[in-house]
């Protein structure tokens, strides 16, 4: 059963992309308009928009913005096509780990290559394709939510890490889509949200969007999950994903792997919720997933203030990889995939 969420994170409007600025949540809930391709590249890199499915759509919008600008340059059709494909390839590099970004930009490249239209026609086709991907994202998340809700026990407390909610997608969410669908059936379900250092997507964004939708949420710090699991206070874990390898190994926000190990030890089922567009069947295992190294300031500072010695060394990988053997199931729009993941993932792509 679908729950009605009020949040629409990113949307194509006429000639520009409109998105929620995620850097200012929870202090402000405001929208920004992105009007050119380079601005979109920077918005993705600087995490004004974030979360794998949302940055995929942002990438698709970015290609339309580049197309609109190139259409004004009096280029031949061939020059336009080759410059635009270069820009779309560039857009793919705005962040390295979430494969939805490469997937969505590639969908736009496929449109460009298949088009028989003139320059203005290509721009229009790209715009229509971006809107289609946007609408499909919400439908896919609702399916993920409904499949996931089937494995949520009555009155469950669900632990999540980072933000895999409406604000990480166009709307509804993947992991939080499961929460929304479960809550629609049983309003005694509740969430424990890890704060998710260093960018605090759990504290800032997950608590904000669940509170906005009236879903009970308790904030905990990242080190607390095993304590609450040992007390029998967590019934299941559901997190999102940035890239899933063909064998089910899953990259998600740094700290996810720790939660998965704690869940295994305490016999708490650990689920991934993600669309098929997050699965990268071109890579065999998680060892091949590129892990983004982010600014050291994210670790040394909180809200602009130093929190440690300025002599300290820092390392700041944005993601880790949870090995497939720790994952009870991958909840997708085609149903819940179970081990052996090589087999179940391959079958999901055939359906």
Nearer to ligand MRU, 43 or 67 (CB): 43
145 counts as binding ligand MRU under rule CB under 6 A: no
> How many whole angstroms separate alpha carbon 247 and alpha carbon 94?
26
Element (H, E) at 62: helix 52-70
Q: Which of 169, 200, 206, 250 binds ligand MRU (CB under 6 A)?
A: 169
Nearer to ligand MRU, 95 or 127 (CB): 95
Read off the DSSP letter of residue 204: I
Helix/strand/coil for 343: helix
| Shortest spacing between CB 130 and ligand MRU, in angstroms | 19
53 counts as binding ligand MRU under rule CB under 6 A: yes
162 counts as binding ligand MRU under rule CB under 6 A: yes
Q: What one-character-per-residue DSSP string does 158-172 give?
A: EEE-S--BGGGSSSS
Find out whether the peptide bond into 272 is cis, omega within 30 degrees of 0.
Answer: no
> How many whole angstroms separate alpha carbon 9 and alpha carbon 23?
13
203 counts as binding ligand MRU under rule CB under 6 A: no
* Stretch of residues binding ligand MRU (CB under 6 A), selected from 47-55, 105-113, 183-191, 218-226: 47-55
51 counts as binding ligand MRU under rule CB under 6 A: yes
305 noted as active-site residue: no
142 counts as binding ligand MRU under rule CB under 6 A: no
127 counts as binding ligand MRU under rule CB under 6 A: no
CA nearest 166: which of 114, 126, 205, 218? 205
> How many whole angstroms separate alpha carbon 315 and alpha carbon 297?
10
Beta strands at 243-245 and 250-253: parallel, antiparallel or unpaired? antiparallel
Q: Total binding residues for ligand MRU by CB under 6 A?
A: 17
**Residue 214 burial by CB count (10 A; 0-12/13-18/19+): exposed, middle or buried?**
exposed
Q: How many CA atoms lie within 13 A of 301 on its CB side?
A: 7
| Shortest spacing between CB 294 and ligand MRU, in angstroms | 8
Element (H, E) at 109: helix 99-114
* Stretch of residues binding ligand MRU (CB under 6 A), selected from 108-116, 238-246, 304-312, 334-342: 238-246
**Catalytic entry in 194, 242, 249, 320:** 242
| Shortest spacing between CB 33 and ligand MRU, in angstroms | 21
168 counts as binding ligand MRU under rule CB under 6 A: yes
| Shortest spacing between CB 169 and ligand MRU, in angstroms | 5
Nearer to ligand MRU, 50 or 92 (CB): 50
81-100 mask for ligand MRU (x: CB under 6 A)? -----------------x--
Spatial contact of 260 and 327, defined as CB atoms under 8 Å apart: yes
Residue 163 vs residues 54, 105, 140, 191, 316: alpha-carbon distances, Å:
12, 23, 17, 12, 18
CB atoms within 10 A of CB 351: 9
Structure tokens at 45: 């890199």
174 counts as binding ligand MRU under rule CB under 6 A: yes
* Stretch of residues binding ligand MRU (CB under 6 A), selected from 29-37, 51-59, 77-85, 208-216: 51-59
**Which residues are known catalytic residues?**
242
* Contacting positions for ligand MRU (CB under 6 A): 50-53, 98, 162, 164, 168-169, 174, 201, 240-242, 252-253, 318
């Amino acid at each position: 059963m679908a729950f009605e969420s009020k949040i629409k994170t990113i949307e194509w409007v006429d000639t520009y992309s409109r998105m929620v600025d995620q850097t200012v949540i929870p202090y402000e809930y405001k929208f920004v308009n992105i009007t050119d391709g380079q601005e979109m590249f920077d918005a993705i890199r600087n995490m004004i928009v974030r979360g794998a499915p949302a940055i995929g759509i942002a990438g698709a919008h970015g290609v339309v913005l580049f197309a609109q600008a190139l259409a004004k340059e009096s280029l031949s059709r061939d020059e336009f096509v080759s410059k635009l494909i270069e820009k779309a390839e560039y857009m793919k590099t705005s962040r390295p780990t979430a494969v939805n970004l490469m997937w969505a930009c590639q969908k736009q490249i496929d449109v460009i290559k298949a088009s028989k239209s003139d320059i203005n026609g290509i721009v229009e086709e790209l715009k229509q394709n971006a809107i289609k991907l946007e609408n499909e994202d919400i439908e896919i998340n609702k399916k993920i939510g409904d499949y996931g809700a089937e494995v949520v026990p009555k009155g469950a407390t669900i632990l999540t890490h980072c933000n895999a909610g409406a604000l990480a997608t166009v709307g509804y969410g993947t992991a939080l889509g499961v929460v929304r669908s479960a809550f629609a059936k049983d309003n005694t379900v509740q969430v424990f949200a890890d704060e998710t250092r260093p960018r605090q997507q759990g504290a800032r964004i997950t608590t904000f969007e669940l509170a906005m939708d009236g879903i009970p949420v308790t904030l905990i710090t990242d080190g607390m999950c095993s304590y609450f699991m040992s007390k029998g206070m967590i019934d299941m874990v559901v997190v999102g994903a940035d890239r899933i390898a063909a064998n089910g190994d899953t990259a998600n926000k740094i700290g996810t792997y720790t939660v998965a190990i704690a869940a295994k030890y305490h016999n708490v089922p650990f689920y991934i919720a993600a669309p098929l567009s997050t699965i990268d069947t071109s890579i065999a295992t998680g060892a091949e997933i590129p892990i983004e190294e982010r600014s050291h300031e994210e670790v040394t500072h909180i809200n602009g203030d130093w929190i440690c010695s300025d002599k300290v060394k820092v390392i700041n990988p944005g993601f880790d990889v949870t090995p497939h053997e720790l994952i009870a199931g991958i909840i997708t729009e085609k149903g819940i995939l179970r081990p052996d993941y090589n087999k179940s993932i391959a079958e999901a792509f055939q359906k």
